[in-house]
Structure 1
Amino acid sequence: MKFENDLDKPWCYEEGDYTVTRSSIWSPPGCHPVGCGVKLYVKDGVLEKVEGDENNPVTNGRLCVRCLALKDYIYNPSRVIHPLKRAREDRGKDKWERTTWDDAFDIIERKTTEIKEKYGAESICLLSGTGRDGGILSQTLAHAVFGTPNSAYTQSGYACYEPRCASAMFASGVGYPEIDYAGGLPGGYDDPDYVVPEVIMVWGKQPLASNGDGLFGHAVLDLMRCGAKLIAIDPRVNWLTTRAVLQLRLRPGTDAALGLALINIIVTEELYDHDFVERWTWGFEELAERAKEMPPERAAEICGLNVEDIYAVARTYAKAKPASIAWGLAIDQQQNGVQAGHCILSLMALTGNLDVPGGQLMGGEFQDDTVVPNYGWNKLDPDLRAKTIGMDQYPYYVNSILNAHADLLLDALETGDPYEFHMVIVQSNNLLSPTNSAQPQRWHKALSKLDFGIGTDLFITPTIQACCDIFLPLATAAEKDSINMTHYTLSPVTYGATNKAITVGECKDDYQVIWELGKRLNPEIWNDGTYADLHDFIADVRIAREMTFAELRDKVYHKRGVTYRKYEKGLLRPNGELGFNTRSGRFEFYSYLFQYYGDDPLPYYQEPPFSPVSTPEIAEKYPFILMTGAREYASFHSEHRQVVPLRELVPNPLLEIHPDDAKKRGVADGQWVLIENQFGQAKFKAKVTPTVYPGTVHAHHGWWFPEDDPEEPSLFGVWKSNCNCLVPHKRIGKLGYGAPFKNSLCNVSPLTENYDLDLKDFAERFGKLVY
């Protein structure tokens, strides 16, 4: 079939011997919800190659190595493509046997009924990760299928995205504002409504590797080509920060001190937007007084910076019209993260960059698009909802994200207080590997004793091997119909249709599992006629009936459109009045919600719980600041460790250490080292590099070793390089958010052993594609 141009191509067409499916994919292979455009070339039912779809309005055909290696991921010999089961007494052993979906569902139905009747639905917990179809499906699976209020993302302090969302809601009444990169505008960068930002400040974010929370990282490069200047705030140097006009390499965990100092300068030198501040903000005088407590000279001492550089950043950002801030995971991964976020939001408001072209794009009228978390929650008995772990101590955390509190859930699993747990569903969450739990050995011990466990994923992970009795195999992005929404709908950019191209084994996607299992376990909800079919359910979950799945599938990509200055149009408040969705109706430097929930209404600095300043006696024994979790191009969290072309890029877990520190510790580049502190230890291969700040080390996260012994106690070598064993439990902020994943302490010592991967042997085991 011939087409006049590529834009005429439908979502599925023939090209030579291939059937080509155009699709917008999210996970797996793992990534955040950018919705990268792909063309999947299928011959005789087998995926032969993957190319970028140049028609995607944001990615324009650009793909990372994870998408390009999708074939190796899908047909990996260690992938499980049929349901499995094993006896409870064989947990931790490689004694899985193949079963059918009906048999697996029969077992699940029987065990769930027994446990709910004997112990109550609250004795079941669902532990979600980033998710094979987006983590936000976890609440539906927990509430609407299993009938438990205890769905949880197991990261201490939910230190990923949610602290930023909480600070944004408390200050503005709407979700996390993203930089405006013209993704939702019909004309993109050339749209007449768009203005290229003069300055982009990238703060604690590595957008090229992470594409964090839906921000397509290369959009930052696009805007730099259009003339935007870059400011970087990050202790580490990476490829992008070397292109910055200014970089502040601050001490990890001191972001709020820097933020207050920047506010101080902007207010003192009257660089703020007087009109916006007067008309649309609340608490300016109080903020100015608070900022006086953090003069730039004090912040320079706290953060380990030159005071002149702090002044330069403040002036450069404040004078740029417009300017934007891409703030990232590093803000969340500190005890003081919510307040650091309040500082950054205050900078946006002070400079009048909220919801303007090229500034910070706010969701506003799109906030209610994602209805999935509420589906099932409101059908739970109020008394049952009240039993959600953390409801009493952290009510905003629980009620805003409909999750049990992660740290308190671990406490309850260990102690049986306020009640015992007897069953777990591990939904695409490899929490025992260093991904999203602090103190994973404690989680391992607590989960291993439960009566029954279910795991959903594509591979047998260490977590499933240790804790589960039923394995349900999930589909990849090439094997399912779905919808992805950039920024989880919190920012108006795109919707994309994930279009099924192939079938592999008996794998089902998350929607199918929820749909089919829900009809068994909770028929009153799932057979009530709300949804005509599975596609109807998917469309309601993802796009709130803005269009049908079939309509989106035909388009593949849908730009949602952008309305700027929504506070001037009554589009941020449910009642249609002008202003922001806050008690004052303004952006709140002085936040009444912070005050209501028992925190300081103004942003403040708090020293990390373990640091050379707060715990000098501990720092004597553990002199290095430990950062974890920077993104790699070759993997996403704990995914892709068995994919040969990706593992060849990063074959071993690395600890980045400065040359001066390595010399003092007797560590050579490429030598294996032991990192340890009062909480645990782990082994890494040293990468001696000046890109890390002296006195800090950075440990790669997400490591386990599919080539190692799968059984207990090894569990695929999950404890060997597990940096999260060094992260403390429940060192969180006042509202329950934030944890020191990037600012704990450790010691580093050289090892004589060599644990390097044998790439030849690895390729033999995991490189033989199975069709």
Structure 2
Amino acid sequence: MADYQEFLDTIDRAAYHEGEWQWEEDGYTVTRTYNYSAPGCHDSCGILAYTKDNKLVKVEGDPLDPCTNGKLCMRCLNLPEATNYPDRLKYPMKRKREDRGNVDAFERISWDEALDIIEDWIKTNIDEAGLGRESIMVNHGTGRNINYQVPFLGGACLRTSNVGAIGFSGYSCYLPRVCGTAAPMGDFPIVDASMGHPDRYNNPEWVHPDVLVVWGCEPLRSNADGYIGHWLVQCVQMGTKIISIDPILTWWGARATHWLDLRPGTDLCIALAWLYVITQEDLIDHEFVDCWCAYYDELKTYLATPSENNDGLGYTPEWASRVTGVDEETIVASARMYANAPRGAIQWGLPFDTQVDSMHACLAVSDLMAVCGNIDRPGTNLLVRNAFEINPGYATASMYADPEAAAKKCTYKTLQQLQGKEPKAEPFIGMADCDAMCYAMETQQPYPMKMLWVQGSNTYTCNGLDTARIYRNIMNFEFIVVADPYMTPTAAAFADILLPLKMSIERDSMRVWWQPLRAMKAVTTFGECKSDEEIIVWLGNRLNPELFNKRWPDIDHFIQDYLDTGFNLINEDGSGLKTAGRNKAGADVVADAHTEFYRKHGGTGTFMDLVQQGGYEYDEFNDEYEKYAKGMLRSDGTPGFATPSGRIELISPTFQAWGIDPWPKHYESVAQSMWTTDEEYRKEYPFTIINGNRSYEFFHSENRQQKTMREFHPVPYVQVSKQTAEEYGLAEGEWIWIENHVGRCKQCVKINPALQPHYIVAEHGWWFPEGDGNAPSLFGSFDCNINNLTYSFETGEGGIGAPYKSIVGRIYKVKDGDTLPSVQILEKGGFREIPPCGVS
């Protein structure tokens, strides 16, 4: 598709029913819509859904969709198998608390009975017991079509703001990058692959990047937030050159001019060394820096100043080479290549979130974009916002929660106080702090934790650190509700009430993250399943009728309000209301809460209008370049960035306000510090374990039920180097134990000749739906779980970032008669004595 116009000219538009959103074809109903690869995924792609007799039969990519141009991943193409899985949950069920772990103990109930049980339990055990709603905790997964729904359910329905990802120390997915860029530049940057334009690659302003840095990610496998990996392939076909920064040789690294195979957890060192080369050799964009950046001279001096943090060398390539293992010449050459490119762009991934110096790594990479002028210009890093400023998210949890419960939310400040530490700053994160929630679950401090609501999360199987600990902590809850499309290990282990969820193809919903605004139209139904939105309306009208009966009495009102207000607070007469700040006299300034979509359509645009116009609409804001010069980023309409100074702040005062050092400094996790300095420790644990590598077949712990996906990827693989395989006598396909001081798991050997010998690469999220769902097996969810080896309570400054991808361990062969982790954890008390709460 290197010639985009040629691609467009070859489409038979009549055959694809241009201008229609639904039609009949060969006995099938075909619906043009958008969809998440259900139920998770980070993106929503244009599809043609073929249905017959209320069943999804086939999915095709829609070539008339300008967002993805008819290209789909294998997960999306395999939606019929996922949706029609015969053992999907079909109706609500209940069981007694003492029967947790016994899937045969569930009995079918009605939705009304489920609602009666939930309402009565909250009334009796929370309200009448004199507890606050803060004693209810809400846990969600990473699927982006629950990004606002679950916080909203927590706040507006259950009236708690203790909403977050249980066991997920450091908010270690995406949030560090969002906060780490919001502080220095006020908005989020993504690589400009023309996705802001409805005419895409034909847009006359757009030019492909000259150099693309693919840093710590594999876009073709992960398709990260608001981003489709094949967009970048299109850029490469047009001539974009690649720099790959990754300890694993990816598709991108194999095609790169420079591959920097750094030690995991040392990304900041490369960024600082690049900044050193670029500033000391004066490779900066002088006009952009002079006009739009603050603290450049301070940054340049800081980078060249010897200190204890840089071994007295300054943040030089020599220093970075010592720490990262990348040779000095490659660091220098790659820095020059990025800086000298007329248009450079950086695509960064999860490793930036999964290290303890996460916030400083994000700041340093933001600085790289800025000093080279690679911000909001064609072919660089585009600044983006949610389409039409539809911004519901974690704020809705605190906005609609009981005020007293909201004031008691578990935050990083809460955790510091419980640990006897002096908090450095007030909380600045919308979601509840993961470690603070873990502390409360384990100790019942600062208040009892009584009820847990889990929605769209396979908690301990996927993201929960230290599975033995998190399993025990979740069992402490007296009442647990789980909502999911499938019987997962989490549902099997914990659910007292189990609610069946619709898949993406079965629900009316929308995607706003980032561009365009996309409508998802239900095309089929399954059993008695409800969508996340329907559960909110169902629950809210019973538990919070004063609010819901007036504003969201049914699902149609709820979805329309999403388009109209983004769930902002409104006046009793229905007029928009939001607090826009305070005036000089200290009084609240009230502004119109309606979204830009509402304003553009004069208040008449509906969900069905969006569906019928093809399912999408582009926001002109994200279509514009150099928004900072046009007064589009600041609330007062003046030129500049949405920062206190109006400039990109290369040394971040906002970090300081958040209790984080404003100067970027590299520091190691406890394990990596010992691994690099203590020879005996390195002999005991000779490998750094890279955790959570993505695959084409699975999204986190999803898709394991699908026969097609398992044919491609039947078991969890651990990649080892050729040297390691020879040293340990390992053969391809042989099962080995991976172990450290926290626990162990087993995975299947895959030899990677490009991997350095002191690294291994493990997979996450594994369970076996074909296995026994009863305890202790729980679908084998402990046996291959790499999070048996991870741990909570070690985070970076501000409580952000944790060392997921740089844990350490040893390996040895699996033998007959070895005790399975499931038995060790559930029947023998775990791998170790759990340390005091707050200690990893």
Q: Is 1:37 paired with 2:65?
A: no
Compare 286-295 and 545-554 and name the one that shifted more.
545-554
Identity of aligned residues (%): 37
Q: Name the structure 2 match of 1:12.
A: 22
Could you tell me how far 1:113 is from its partner in structure 2? 1.8
CA distance in 2, matches of 1:290, 1:728: 34
What code does the residue aligned with 1:259 have? Answer: A
CA distance in 1, matches of 2:385, 2:76: 32
List 4+ stretches of structure 1 deviating above 6 A. Answer: 394-398
Are the equivalent residues in 1 in contact too, given 2:154–2:401 (CA < 8 A)? no
Alignment of 1:476-515 (within 5 A): 476-485=503-512, 488-489=513-514, 493-515=515-537
What code does the residue aligned with 1:143 have? Answer: G
Could you tell me how far 1:364 is from its partner in structure 2? 5.5
Quickly say closer, same or farther: Cα 1:445–1:437, change in 2 above 3 A.
same
CA distance in 2, matches of 1:668, 1:698: 16
Q: Is 1:553 paired with 2:566?
A: no
For residue 421 of structure 1, the aligned residue among 427, 449, 461 is 449
Q: Name the structure 2 match of 1:763.
A: none
Are the equivalent residues in 2 in contact too, given 1:431–1:440 (CA < 8 A)? no
What code does the residue aligned with 1:494 have? Answer: P
Are the equivalent residues in 2 in contact too, given 1:26–1:484 (CA < 8 A)? no
Q: Is 1:138 paired with 2:150?
A: yes
Q: Name the structure 2 match of 1:637.
A: 700
Could you tell me how far 1:63 is from its partner in structure 2? 1.2
Quickly say closer, same or farther: Cα 1:627–1:302, change in 2 above 3 A.
same
CA distance in 2, matches of 1:30, 1:149: 23
Q: Name the structure 2 match of 1:201.
A: 213
Paired positions, count: 746
For residue 178 of structure 1, the aligned residue among 190, 198, 202 is 190
Could you tell me how far 1:140 is from its partner in structure 2? 0.3
Are the equivalent residues in 2 in contact too, given 1:238–1:691 (CA < 8 A)? no
Q: Name the structure 2 match of 1:337.
A: 358
Please, which runs of 5 or more residues in structure 1 have no aligned partner? Answer: 756-771
Alignment of 1:474-623 (within 5 A): 474-485=501-512, 488-489=513-514, 493-529=515-551, 533-540=557-564, 541=566, 545-546=597-598, 547-554=605-612, 555-561=614-620, 562-611=623-672, 612-613=675-676, 616-623=679-686
Q: Name the structure 2 match of 1:768.
A: none
CA distance in 1, matches of 2:171, 2:678: 24
Which secondary structure state, in structure 2, belongs to the residue aligned with residue 444 of structure 1?
helix
Are the equivalent residues in 2 in contact too, given 1:53–1:60 (CA < 8 A)? yes
What code does the residue aligned with 2:644 have? Answer: R
Q: Name the structure 1 match of 2:4.
A: none
Q: Is 1:681 paired with 2:702?
A: no
Q: Name the structure 2 match of 1:740.
A: 803
CA distance in 2, matches of 1:665, 1:316: 40
Are the equivalent residues in 2 in contact too, given 1:115–1:423 (CA < 8 A)? no
Deviations 1:72-111 (A, max 9, x none): 1111122111111111221111111111111111111111
CA distance in 1, matches of 2:665, 2:414: 22
Are the equivalent residues in 2 in contact too, given 1:628–1:701 (CA < 8 A)? yes
The CA RMSD measured in Å over matched residues stands at: 2.1
Could you tell me how far 1:6 is from its partner in structure 2? 3.0
Deviations 1:668-709 (A, max 9, x none): 221100000011100000111123222000101110111222
Could you tell me how far 1:544 is from its partner in structure 2? 6.4
Which secondary structure state, in structure 1, belongs to the residue aligned with residue 46 of structure 2?
strand
What code does the residue aligned with 1:621 have? Answer: E
What code does the residue aligned with 1:21 have? Answer: T
CA distance in 1, matches of 2:795, 2:407: 22
Q: Name the structure 1 match of 2:282.
A: 270
CA distance in 2, matches of 1:503, 1:387: 40
Alignment of 1:335-374 (within 5 A): 335-363=356-384, 368-374=389-395
What code does the residue aligned with 1:358 have? Answer: G
Are the equivalent residues in 1 in contact too, given 2:745–2:783 (CA < 8 A)? yes
CA distance in 2, matches of 1:156, 1:746: 20
TM-score by length of 2: 0.86
CA distance in 1, matches of 2:597, 2:255: 43
Deviations 1:348-381 (A, max 9, x none): 0010011111111112696842134333522334
CA distance in 1, matches of 2:547, 2:754: 54
For residue 404 of structure 1, the aligned residue among 415, 432, 444 is 432
Q: Name the structure 1 match of 2:85.
A: 76
Are the equivalent residues in 1 in contact too, given 2:481–2:497 (CA < 8 A)? yes
CA distance in 2, matches of 1:711, 1:232: 44
What code does the residue aligned with 1:424 have? Answer: L
Q: Is 1:127 paired with 2:148?
A: no
Which secondary structure state, in structure 2, belongs to the residue aligned with residue 572 of structure 1?
coil
CA distance in 1, matches of 2:431, 2:704: 29
Could you tell me how far 1:440 is from its partner in structure 2? 2.0
For residue 23 of structure 1, the aligned residue among 33, 38, 54 is 33
Q: Name the structure 1 match of 2:319.
A: 298
Which secondary structure state, in structure 2, belongs to the residue aligned with residue 49 of structure 1?
strand
Q: Name the structure 2 match of 1:166.
A: 179
Quickly say closer, same or farther: Cα 1:527–1:544, change in 2 above 3 A.
farther
Which secondary structure state, in structure 1, belongs to the residue aligned with residue 698 of structure 2?
coil
Could you tell me how far 1:663 is from its partner in structure 2? 1.5
Could you tell me how far 1:717 is from its partner in structure 2? 0.9
Q: Name the structure 2 match of 1:715.
A: 778
Could you tell me how far 1:616 is from its partner in structure 2? 4.6
Compare 289-298 and 451-460 and name the one that shifted more.
289-298
Q: Name the structure 2 match of 1:460.
A: 487
What code does the residue aligned with 1:548 have? Answer: T
CA distance in 2, matches of 1:16, 1:396: 66
Are the equivalent residues in 2 in contact too, given 1:370–1:544 (CA < 8 A)? no
CA distance in 1, matches of 2:117, 2:75: 35
Are the equivalent residues in 2 in contact too, given 1:27–1:131 (CA < 8 A)? no
Compare 447-456 and 22-31 and name the one that shifted more.
22-31
CA distance in 1, matches of 2:425, 2:735: 40
Compare 602-611 and 635-644 and name the one that shifted more.
602-611
Alignment of 1:51-66 (within 5 A): 51-66=60-75
CA distance in 1, matches of 2:426, 2:50: 44
Which secondary structure state, in structure 1, belongs to the residue aligned with residue 173 of structure 2?
coil
CA distance in 1, matches of 2:659, 2:548: 39
Q: Name the structure 2 match of 1:99.
A: 109
Quickly say closer, same or farther: Cα 1:526–1:372, change in 2 above 3 A.
farther
Are the equivalent residues in 1 in contact too, given 2:412–2:798 (CA < 8 A)? no
Q: Name the structure 2 match of 1:213.
A: 225
Q: Name the structure 1 match of 2:272.
A: 260
CA distance in 2, matches of 1:367, 1:9: 23
Which secondary structure state, in structure 2, belongs to the residue aligned with residue 107 of structure 1?
helix
Could you tell me how far 1:295 is from its partner in structure 2? 0.6
CA distance in 2, matches of 1:234, 1:227: 22
Q: Name the structure 1 match of 2:340.
A: 319
Quickly say closer, same or farther: Cα 1:376–1:132, change in 2 above 3 A.
closer
Which secondary structure state, in structure 2, belongs to the residue aligned with residue 102 of structure 1?
helix
Are the equivalent residues in 2 in contact too, given 1:608–1:614 (CA < 8 A)? no
Q: Name the structure 1 match of 2:592.
A: none
TM-score by length of 1: 0.93
Deviations 1:557-584 (A, max 9, x none): 2222311111112211112222111122
What code does the residue aligned with 2:117 have? Answer: I
Are the equivalent residues in 1 in contact too, given 2:157–2:536 (CA < 8 A)? yes
What code does the residue aligned with 2:437 have? Answer: L
Deviations 1:4-58 (A, max 9, x none): 463624111111211001111125143112x111111111222211111111112
Q: Name the structure 2 match of 1:438.
A: 465
Could you tell me how far 1:666 is from its partner in structure 2? 2.3
Are the equivalent residues in 2 in contact too, given 1:199–1:228 (CA < 8 A)? yes
Structure with more contact order per residue of length (Cα contacts < 8 Å, sep ≥ 6): 1
